[in-house]
Amino acid sequence: YIYQYHRGRWPHGNKKDFYALADMVEIQLGQGAQASAPQTTKADQIDEEFRHVFGLEKGEDAVIASRLDGLESAADLKHLVSRLKEETGGVPISYKFAASHYLEDEIELAVEAGIDVIVIDGAEAGTHAGQPLLEDAFGLPTMHALVRAADYLEEKGVRDKVSIIASGGLFSPEHFLKAMALGADAVYIGTAAVMAMIHTQIVESSPFEPPTQLALYSGRLKDELDIDLAVKSLTNYLNSCVAEMVLGVVAMGKEALTAVDKSDLCALTPAAADISGVELAYHRKNTAAFPFREQPADIKEEVLIPH
């Protein structure tokens, strides 16, 4: 599992006992729909179980600060990355931040600190507590940020050493495949996973309550959620997404999900072409590298590897 090394200031946050067992540790400096703004959950919204898990005293608020505790400089980030790698036995360390116009500067600091994975959270990302101003007017869109990040890592000659995870507004197989073609090694989903979990149980809330009342911590119908069925629904959604992505790759004559790139895309508008660096759909494609001119591909769907 991935442990998020977060900005929460509660007593049970960022304990070595938790992150030492992780397969990856993610340093969370912000998120797309909320930037790195602070957030407070008031004590009167916290029940006994919440307080116990977080280590909060009765009447104590749960506070997420703007900054990670003890992180004030690039040197501090480098020290944190080194410490986490030592304490976890060398698992990958990722760096999640809200995509902004300072994106390349942030990535440069991360690379210098020894980060293994860059997590770019675009402005389309969802959140449970962001203010409308931050949700609507802050941050770069996911596609813009992803392309800039991939280009920058390539320019610096470290693209083969630093992985990219794209996040923010992605919810369908075609979104995931396009993100990989534009440079992502993997994608995150959040809201899509929640909706997948509850989609077969919406009848429990309709017609008078929104379906999110089944999933939210403060939801009036959260006790009606069938957790086992939710797990099955999410599993089906994820398996379906992978199966459709594999089918798409087969349709393009390729043998692995990792084989997709910008040459598999075309843009419908000049703006999209300029942003993404792919060819326009209404110009003839440069077919010098057309893969079937010399030897037809012999692709067997049953042996295609979705890696």
**Cis omega before residue 207 (within 30°)?**
yes
| One domain, residues 272 and 174 | no
- 154 belongs to a structural domain: yes
| One domain, residues 65 and 146 | yes
| One domain, residues 26 and 125 | yes
- 67 belongs to a structural domain: yes
- Predicted confidence (pLDDT) per residue in 242-252, tens digit: 999 999 999 99
Domain that holds residue 271: 259-289
Dihedral angle over CA of 54, 70, 79, 28, nearest 10:
50
| One domain, residues 264 and 167 | no
| One domain, residues 164 and 272 | no
- 92 belongs to a structural domain: yes
pLDDT of residue 178: 98
Mean pLDDT of 88-102: 96
Using the 3D structure, point to which of 155, 189, 223 is the last residue of a domain: 189
| One domain, residues 171 and 270 | no
Mean pLDDT of 198-224: 88
- 299 belongs to a structural domain: no
User: Quick one: tokens of 82?
Assistant: 């080194």
Residues in Cβ contact with 110 at an 8 Å cutoff, skipping those fewer than 6 apart: 77, 95, 118
- 295 belongs to a structural domain: no
For residue 161, what is the domain's CATH number?
Answer: 3.20.20.70
| One domain, residues 37 and 171 | yes
Mean pLDDT of 60-84: 94
Of the spans 6-10, 127-131, 147-151, 194-198, which averages the highest pLDDT? 147-151
- Predicted confidence (pLDDT) per residue in 213-261, tens digit: 998 888 889 989 999 999 999 999 999 999 999 999 999 999 999 999 9
Q: How confident is the model at residue 282 (pLDDT cuts 50, 70, 90)?
A: confident
| One domain, residues 48 and 146 | yes
| Listed residue (263, 33, 27) closest to 141, CA to CA | 33
Q: How confident is the model at residue 212 (pLDDT cuts 50, 70, 90)?
A: confident
pLDDT of residue 132: 84
- 66 belongs to a structural domain: yes
- 242 belongs to a structural domain: no
- 35 belongs to a structural domain: yes
Residue 239 three-state SS: helix
CB environment 1-20: b (16+ within 10 A), e (fewer): ebbbbbbbebeebbeeeebe
Mean pLDDT of 117-142: 88
Strand 62-64 to strand 93-98: parallel, antiparallel, or no bridges (unpaired)? unpaired
Using the 3D structure, point to which of 129, 160, 189 is the last residue of a domain: 189
Q: How many domains does the chain have?
A: 2
